[in-house]
Amino acid sequence: MKHALFPGSFDPPTLGHLNLIERISRQADRTTVAVIENPNKPGLFPFKERVELLRSLVAANSLPADRIQVSLFSGLLVDYVRQLDYPVVVRGLRSTIDMEFEFQMAHLNQKLDSKVETMFLATRPELSAVSSSYVREIGRYGGDISQLVPSSILEQILPRLRG
């Protein structure tokens, strides 16, 4: 694959995201990891902070940093795909529950622009229960999230979760 676009909320990035970025960047010459800004869903981590977290995660985990860029985009995913000259959108699938939502999104994006292609990557079984929302919930109540987020960004994440 020439260029892969891995979009998401990344609120915050998790071990599942890191594993997908590693695996996508092995398959693609170039990978764009994009935080998609939704003004109606501000979430917990400010959008720019998510970009910084992803950048430090790429730098700290011996990923091919010269072939991975992290960006921030606000708007429709298809508009960003067009702007980047049609990379393949890659999304992770943890379960059949994800599948329903992901298929809907892929189908809608294809209706909006038939040239947009989405490919799915099955997550590693041991990471199938990892999600940003569980990280936020467990972290908020002081639970141990060290099995859920990359150790390289754990210390950066904790203050905001407990804040």
Chain mean position to CA 111: 23
Q: How many CA atoms lie within 13 A of 37 on its CB side?
A: 12
As measured in angstroms, the least distance from the Cβ of 156 to ligand PNS is 19
Q: Report the candidate in 77, 71, 66 with the shortest Cα–Cα distance to residue 30.
A: 66
Rounded to the nearest whole angstrom, what is the least distance from the CB of residue 108 to ligand PNS in the complex?
4
> Given the complex with ligand PNS, which of 66 and 160 has the nearer CB atom?
160
In the bound state with ligand PNS, the residue whose beta carbon lies nearer, of 108 and 142, is: 108
C-beta of 50: minimal distance to ligand PNS in Å? 10
**Min separation Cβ 80 and ligand PNS, Å:** 8
CB nearer to ligand PNS: pick between 68 and 142 = 68
Residues engaged in binding ligand PNS (CB under 6 A):
7-9, 36, 76-77, 105, 108-109
Residues 6 or more apart from 147 whose CB is under 8 A from it? Answer: 15
71 or 142: CB nearest ligand PNS: 71
